[in-house]
Amino acid sequence: MKTFTTGQMMRFWMLYLISAPFAFMIRSLLEKADYQGWLSLASAYAISLGMIYFAVRVGEGQSESWLIYGERIVGKWLHRLFVAGIVYYITFLNALNVQNFSDFFGTVYLTDTPGWVVMLLFFFCTAVVARSGLTAIMYMADGFFLLVFVAIFAVIPLMLNKLNYPAAYGLLTHFDFSKWWKSTFYSTSWFAEMTLVLLILHRFRTNGRSFRSMALAGLGAFLSILVYWLMCLLLFGPKLGSHLRYPLMDMLRFVQMGEILENLDPVLISVWSTTLLIKTAGLLYIATQSLAYLLGQKDARPLTFVLAALMLGFALRLSYAPAEMIQVQGTSALRVFFISICCIPLLYFILRQSASLFKRTNKKA
Average pLDDT, the chain: 87
pTM here?
Answer: 0.92
- Specify whether the backbone of 75 is left (phi greater than 0), alpha (psi in -120 to 50) or beta: left
Q: Which CATH architecture has domain 4-356?
A: Up-down Bundle (1.20)
Amino acid identity for residue 173 in this structure: T
Each residue's pLDDT, cut to its tens digit, for the chain (365 residues) gives: 568 888 899 999 999 999 888 888 888 888 888 889 899 999 999 999 999 999 999 988 788 889 999 888 888 899 999 999 999 999 999 999 998 888 888 777 777 788 889 899 999 999 999 999 999 999 999 999 998 888 888 888 888 888 888 888 888 888 888 888 988 998 999 999 999 999 999 888 877 788 999 999 999 999 999 999 999 999 888 888 888 888 888 887 776 554 444 566 777 788 888 999 999 999 999 999 999 999 988 888 899 999 999 999 988 888 887 667 767 776 778 889 999 999 999 999 999 888 777 776 666 65
- Quick one: CA dihedral 218, 220, 225, 230, positive or negative? positive
- Per-residue b/e over 180-189, b at no fewer than 16 CB within 10 Å? bebbbbbbbb
| Residue-wise pLDDT tens digits, 118-174 | 899 999 999 999 999 999 999 999 999 998 888 888 888 888 888 888 888 888 888
Contact 135, 2 (CB under 8 A): yes
Name the strand (E) or helix (H) holding 4. strand 4-5
The pLDDT score that the predictor gives to residue 262 is 55
62, 72, 79, 121, 237 from 290: Cα distances, Å: 17, 17, 11, 24, 43
| Residue-wise pLDDT tens digits, 56-80 | 999 887 888 899 998 888 888 999 9
